[in-house]
A and B are shown apart, each in its own frame.
Chain A
């Protein structure tokens, strides 16, 4: 097929659960491509020589190369290409903000002057990964002889899983310590089932277990074991403890009954399965739910609230639709499902009844001023214009900060102003020798692929460090 023909092919429409149906279940929304759909979508790729899409991917997945294998039908080769740089394609294919990364600079989208026309790289990545999982073709790689070195990984989020996977394949012994009773970090407790089935996360973890990674759940480093004990027992340490510290607004009423942080709400729903009537963990099933914030976390909370039976869900965001940091796809899914959006409104106070239950919010109407440091136009209050909305559940989804548990337990770690660990950008080494860090604990709340990218860098540097110390011991 020549370029002109390829450019004529329309994007394959991803089949999805109907919105009216899906708000009554927690099953995944998009069904995924069939092989025929994947082939058709793969044929839209022009195999550009300059590969702008690869530059857009934070870990540099060899995109045209893997897409070519879909055309040729050699899926096993394709998954191998992806996994060279991305350990969790089934996850990234689903949750990467592709429209801002690989797909943003795709030549096809550019040619049509419509980013929506770009090759659906994420969906193709997901297709191959799902095919591999469903056909049990994941190959157990040849693992080199044991190096005799032991690495401790703190946290089983995407950063920690990447480090574990890379280092076990290099012959090092790896133990992952996880505070919760289940693995995955935000992939497990935060991102909802309907967007990322937990089965996928657990399949990835089982794969690592088969490779020999030792997972220790219910182990909080800094509490169950001190950081120093871990440092003494292991030759190197990777901290991937994430950004699990929820922000609150600091406005009156946040202690009222029915006010949740998004983390608590999503943890109850996902990790503890509160959406299932048989689960022992309760959750308030609000009839009218207000979600404060405009990111992915807010979208996930709003859509979860619908699935828990809310009759009305409103996302309240202080800037306008344009500035909203949530992925476009999530925003559209939320709109389709009936989530309402109230833009340019800033919560001033959460209101309650005499028994302490939340009843609603007072909102300040905003307008957009000059761009701020983030490049987005700064929201400013319009004097005298306030209003109110009613709600029986309020979810505060205004972001998370790095989890302070490990830094508090290792005071010699150098930290930045935002509570993140300071690292060498190339090696992810911290101010403490032999201790590396990556993911949200370094970046603040970022993305899965950036966490994995840092994990990969750290794994490389840890391997070098272990090899160097092994050489020193030998001489």
Chain B
């Protein structure tokens, strides 16, 4: 059981949690994630470690409510507990002094991007960040990102804030204006990552992307998180989650994310109903070996 110490709404459907997880807090490195199970009948879902305080033994997670599990998590309050938290999982980000590093975050991808941008800055890079959101209300972590970036550019699809357009437009403008970029990091919705990486490939900028396939165990046991990178099968939970964006088979990855679309829809509808009438679904009682 991992107690929620603090809970804060960052925007519509986006919540930051500070959670007790002492071992994770002292062992995690930027780029790594945890797998949580909200309740004893819950699903295991991966979430990036957005930040950690090794002294207090806490980690922070920033979660967007998209389906049943993340919505159930959103109903928890400070003092409540998350049933299971395991990690840190995955390989840490490859950090070095590249020179100028471009960090591109889309939507909730800004959450996993934050610890990486921060670490890139600490590794003495010049950090330029581009944050993309559909509209102003959906932009998260702007202040945190500004603090760890040398330059910050915001784009919104509808022009309600920053420059109107997509992150790819901002990248083109930046490079067109003569900025040299040594390394790019992109995290966001898979389609955004795909188009960003197509562009940086064209522009000759080495790029890494953090992939978010469906996972279960996170230890390389199930193979459910497999992705194709450079023609080879990789398990994102142990070989990743970061990969050379130019080698990722994006179409296959995006398709696989849709495996349970029908099931997820039913679950979310059920959750909607039951959450509203205050029931919550209960699974069978399972005997937990804690005598």
Binding site for B on A (CB under 8 A): 179-183, 189, 198-199, 202-203, 205-206, 209-210, 215, 217-220, 223-226, 244-246, 248, 250, 254-255, 257-258, 260-261, 263-264, 267-268, 272-273, 276, 278-282, 284, 355-356, 403-405
Contact of A276 among B228, B255, B283 (CB under 8 A): B283
Show 29 A/B contacts (Cβ-Cβ < 8 Å), sorted by A.
A180-B217, A181-B83, A181-B84, A181-B86, A198-B286, A220-B219, A223-B88, A223-B89, A224-B27, A244-B217, A244-B220, A245-B221, A250-B233, A255-B226, A255-B256, A257-B258, A267-B216, A272-B44, A273-B41, A273-B284, A278-B41, A278-B282, A278-B283, A280-B68, A281-B43, A282-B263, A356-B256, A403-B219, A405-B219
Q: How far is the CA of A356 from the CA of B249 in the complex (A)?
A: 13
Q: How far is the CA of A255 from the CA of B253 in the complex (A)?
A: 8
B208 contacts the other chain (Cβ, under 8 Å)?
A: no
Q: How far is the CA of A343 from the CA of B228 in the complex (A)?
A: 30
Contact of A220 among B89, B223, B233 (CB under 8 A): B89
Cβ of A264 and Cβ of B223 under 8 Å apart? yes
A267-B86 contact in complex given A225-B23, A255-B256, C-beta closer than 8 Å: no
Give the one of B69, B85, B219, B284 with max A CB within 10 A: B219
Q: How far is the CA of A202 from the CA of B287 in the complex (A)?
A: 7
Nearest Cβ on chain A to B252's Cβ, whole angstroms: 5
Nearest Cβ on chain A to B134's Cβ, whole angstroms: 26
Contact of B289 among A202, A245, A255 (CB under 8 A): A202
Query: B192-231, CB under 8 A of A: which get 1 and which 0?
Result: 0000000000000000000000001111111110111000
B87 contacts the other chain (Cβ, under 8 Å)?
A: yes
Nearest Cβ on chain A to B258's Cβ, whole angstroms: 7
| CB-CB nearest in chain B for A282 | B263
Query: B14-50, CB under 8 A of A: which get 1 and which 0?
Result: 0000000001100100000000010001111000000
Cβ of B263 and Cβ of A263 under 8 Å apart? no
Q: What 8 pairs between A and B have smallest CB-CB spacing?
A: A282-B263, A244-B221, A218-B86, A264-B222, A261-B223, A205-B289, A356-B255, A280-B43
Nearest Cβ on chain B to A451's Cβ, whole angstroms: 16
Q: How far is the CA of A246 from the CA of B41 in the complex (A)?
A: 25
Binding site for A on B (CB under 8 A): 23-24, 27, 37, 41-44, 68-69, 83-89, 216-224, 226-228, 233, 238, 249, 252, 255-256, 258-260, 263-264, 267, 281-284, 286-291
Nearest Cβ on chain A to B184's Cβ, whole angstroms: 25
Chain B residues, Cβ within 8 Å of A260: 224
Chain A residues, Cβ within 8 Å of B68: 280
Q: How far is the CA of A196 from the CA of B205 in the complex (A)?
A: 54
Cβ of A405 and Cβ of B220 under 8 Å apart? yes
Chain B residues, Cβ within 8 Å of A268: 216
Cβ of A224 and Cβ of B289 under 8 Å apart? no
| CB-CB nearest in chain B for A408 | B238
Give the one of B220, B260, B284 with max A CB within 10 A: B220
